[in-house]
Amino acid sequence: MNELLKKSLWAVAFSLVILAWVFGLFIDLTGDSGLHAAISRQMVESGDWLNLKINGEPYDQKPHLFFWLAGLGIQLFGNSNWAFKLFPFLVGVSGIYFTYRLGKLIYSELSGKLAALLAGTSQMFFLYFFDIHTDTVLQATVTLAIWQLAEYLENKKPVYFIFGFVGIGLAMLTKGPVGAVLPFFFVLFYLLLKKDFRQLFHPKWILGILLVLLIISPTLYHLWESFGAEGFHFYFIGNNFGRITGEVAGSSTDPFFYLYNQLWAFAPWTIVFITALGGEIITWFYAPKPRKMGISIFGSVLVLFVVYSIARGKAPNYMMMFIPLLAVLAGNRMKYFVLWPTIMTRKLIFAQRLIILLVLLAIPASYYLFPGNHFLLPLSLLISATTLIVCFRGIELHRWNRLIFATLVSLAFINLYLNASVIPNMFQYQGHSQTLEIFESCQTNEKQLFNFGLEEYELFFNAEKQVQNVVSWEELYDVVNHPGAWVYTNEDRLRKIWYLQLPIDTIYEINQRGMNRISPEFIHPKTREKSLSGNYLLKMKSIEDEVFTQGRESGQVLARQKLGFEAPMFHWLSIEQGIYFINIGRDDVYSPPAIIQLDKTAQASRFTLEIKLEYRAWSAFDEKEVVLVVSVENQQEVLAYRVFPLAWSREDETWKTDRFEDRFTMELPQNAQLKAYILNKNRNRLALKQMEITLTGNEPD
C-alpha cells in the first residue's frame, strides 16, 4: 500500500513539472524568441521555407531547423504563442530522454535517471522551455549526437554512427558549427585516452562529414542564394569568431560570466550538483579504471566553456547544451547518495533543506512583487506543496528520497505559479502587447499598423494583420498617406515627427519595458514605474488631406524637403529680423530641421547665422564634411535656399563655431518658416547629438 502511495505521489510531483511546462507555452514572447517567431510566421505566410527572411530582408544569423519546427506548429495550429513553441519544446524535452540514455550507457540506469532529473528540472530548462531559443533545440540534438557516438564507440554498430552524425547535422542545422564542437572533442578525447589512433584517423569520419553536409545543405543553399560566398564565410567562420571577438555581437570582458550563471542554471539543485560533480572529478584521480567517456565529456565541455568565457559575446542560453552533459557526470556521483545516504553530510542535507524552504517562500514573495487576481492562488499552492511534502515524509524512510521529493515538489509549484500567474503579469508591460490591444480594438475596417524604428519583433508575430516595417523617413511620408495608418515608434522619433509637422490624429503613450532584461528597479513595485520607458502609438491623418493644398505632387516634394532628402543648391534667402536660439538634443542617427516661425510682413537686409554642432562619439569622419542648409518655406512652397559649408577641425577633433553673413531683402508670405538642416556631402543622415543655431537680423537700410 505504501509503495503504491509513494508511486502516486511521485507521479503527482512529475505531473506538476509537466503542467508548469505547459503553462509556459502560453506565455508571451520577448527578445530573440520574438524575432524567431516573426521569421517563422513570415516563412509560413510566404510559403517559402527555404529562404529565411525578416521583413523582406534575407536572414543569416541562424539556420533552418528551429524555424521549420516553429513553422510547423504555426502551419498546423495557427499563429499563437503555444503553436510557435510547441515543436521546439517537444524536441527540447526529448533531450531529457537522451540525457537519461547517455547516463545509463556510460554509468548505470540509476545514474541516467538522476542525470535526467538534474537537467530536466533545472531552472535553466524551466526558463528556456517557456522562453524558447534555438538552444532549447540545440541541447537535445547535441546530447543525441554524443549519446549515439558513445554507443558507436562502445558497440561498433553502424546505425549508431549514422545517428551520431545525424545528431551533429541537426545541431549544425539549428545553430551552426558550434553544434559540432562538443561531439568532435568528445570523440577526440575518448580516442586519445584509449590511444586508438587507428580509429582516430580512419576515413570513415569523412562519410560522417558528408552526411552532415547533406543535412545542412538547405542552409548552405539559402546562404549562397542570398549572400553568395560571404554567406558561407559568415556561417562557418564570421558568425562564430565574430562572437568571440565581439565584431558580430557582445562586448563582455567578464571571464567568470558562465561560472556564476551556473549557480542559478542548476537551481534548486546547485549545491547538490556542485558537490556531486566535484566528487566525480576527484574519483578520476584515484579510481583504478575511471570511465574514459565521462572524462571525455568533461573535457569537451571544458574546451567550449573556456572559449565561451573569453568570448565577448555572452548570453546565459549559450550554456544550455552544457547542462545535460554535466548532469550525466553529477548524476553518477548522486547515485551513491541514494544507495548509501550516509555519504551525504549533515551540512549538505541542511543546505538543501534551506533551499527547499527558500523556494517555497518564493511563492508569497512573488505574489507581493506581482499580485495576481486573488491571493488564494499562491496560498493554495503553498498549502498543497507543504501537504505533499509532509505526506511523503510520513511514508518514506529513506532521507535522500525525502529530500529529492521535497525539492521536486517545491520547484514544481514555484514554476507553476510563475508560469501561470507571475510571468504573464510581468509580460503585460511589453510595448507590443499594449500596442496591439489598442490598435486591434479600433473598430475601423481600413487600418494598417506600421513599425518605425523599433525592434519589438513580437509585434510582427502577434498582430492579426501583418505589420509593415518602416526603415527610413522617406518611407514615412508614404506611410502617413496610407488610409488608416497607425505608427508605433519611440519618443525620439515622435519629436521628429512633430518637427516635420506630419499630421497626427491621436497619440497613445505606451509605458513599456522589454522582458529580456529585467532590472531590480522593475521588480520592486515602488520603483517599477520609473523603470518604464515611453513608446508611442500614433493614429495618423493623411498629409494630403490635412497639410497640403496643391495636390499630391507638390505635397510630395515639400514633404521630401522637410525630411531633408533633397539638399538645395545656392539660392537667395529671406527671413525676418530677430534673435533665435534652438537646442535640439538627439540620441540617434538623424537630426530633423530646426524650425523658426517668421512674421508674414517682416523684412531684413542683413542676417547672421551662428551654429554649434556636437557629434556622437562613433561618427565617421566623412559625416563631418557637412553643410548647413537654410530654407524659407510655407505650406504651399519652398521659397528660397542658402547653403553654407561648416568647418571641422581635424587636429582638435572639434567643431568650430561658424558665422555667416549676407544681405537680402524679401517680402515674407503668411505662415513662413525658416528651417535649418544639417546634411553631409552625400546628402545622408547624420549622427548628431546636439545642434544649436543662433539667428540675428537687422532692419533694411
Same domain assignment for residues 610 and 688: yes
596 part of a folded domain: yes
pLDDT of residue 269: 94
Task: Report pLDDT for 658.
Answer: 52
- How far apart, in Å, are the Cα atoms of 531 and each of 177, 369, 382, 455, 495? 38, 15, 30, 19, 21
Residues 536 and 610 in one domain: no
- Decide if 552 is inside a domain: no
- pLDDT value at position 9? 86
612 backbone dihedrals φ, ψ, rounded to 5°:
-130, 135
Domain endpoint, select from 283, 306, 339: 339
CA-CA distance, 363 to 71, in Å (whole number)?
A: 35
* Regions of the chain where pLDDT drops below 70: 1, 341-344, 373-374, 376, 397, 499-501, 542-630, 634-671, 674, 676-701
Residue 655 lies in a domain: yes
Do 115 and 238 share a domain, yes or no?
A: yes
CB count in 10 Å sphere of residue 340 = 10
8 A C-beta contact, residue 491 and residue 534: yes
| Helical segments of 201-291, H only | 204-215, 217-227, 229-233, 239-245, 257-265, 270-286
Copy the grid coordinates of residue 111.
545514474
The last residue of one of the domains, among 290, 323, 339, is 339
CB 363 within 8 A of CB 376: no
Q: Is residue 386 domain-resident?
A: no
The per-residue DSSP string of 625-677 comes to SEEEEEEEE-SS-EEEEEEEE--EETTTTEEPPEEEEEE------TT-EEEEE
Identify the helix (H) or strand (E) that includes residue 500. Answer: none
Residue type present at position 494: L
pLDDT score, position 555: 42
CATH at 621? 2.60.120
Structural domain includes residue 693: yes
Q: 498 and 590 share a domain?
A: no
Measured distance CA(275)–CA(281) in Å, rounded? 10
Q: Tell me, what's the pLDDT at 482?
A: 77
Q: Is residue 459 part of a domain?
A: yes
Integer angstrom CA distances of residue 269 from 247, 258, 337, 356, 386:
36, 17, 14, 10, 19
**Sign of torsion over alpha carbons 477, 478, 483, 484:** negative
Among 339, 364, 382, where does a domain finish? 339
Strands (E), 417-479: 448-452, 468-470
616, 650: one domain: yes
For the stretch 245-301, pLDDT in tens is: 877 777 778 889 999 999 999 999 999 999 999 999 999 988 888 889 999 999 999
Please indicate, yes or no, if residue 407 is contained in any of the structural domains. no
Helix (H, G, I), strand (E, B) or coil at 247: coil
The verdict on 205 and 327 lying in the same domain is yes
Task: Please name the residues in contact with 552: beta carbons below 8 A apart, sequence gap of 6 or more.
Answer: 544
300/200 same-domain check: yes
CA-wise closest residue to 555 among 545, 540, 541: 545
Range list of H helices, 468-550: 473-480, 491-499, 520-523, 528-531, 543-546
* Domain encompassing residue 481: 431-546
Q: How far apart are CA 440 and CA 465, in angstroms?
A: 9
Q: Are residues 531 and 644 in the same domain?
A: no
Looking at the fold, whether 511 and 627 belong to one and the same domain comes out as no
The number of domains in the chain is 3
In a domain, 378, yes or no: no
Measured between alpha carbons, how far is 631 from 638 in angstroms, rounded to an integer?
A: 7
Give the global pTM. 0.79
Please tell me whether residues 585 and 534 are part of one structural domain: no
pLDDT at site 652: 57
Same domain, 212 and 179: yes
> Which string of DSSP letters, residue by residue, matches 75-132?
HHH-SSHHHHHHHHHHHHHHHHHHHHHHHHHHT-HHHHHHHHHHHHTSHHHHHHHHS-
Output helix, strand, coil percentages for the chain, rounded to the nearest 5: 60, 15, 30
pLDDT at 447: 86
The answer to whether residues 254 and 303 belong to one domain is yes
Give the pLDDT confidence score for residue 690 in this predicted structure. Answer: 55
How many Å separate Cα 476 from the centre of its chain? 26
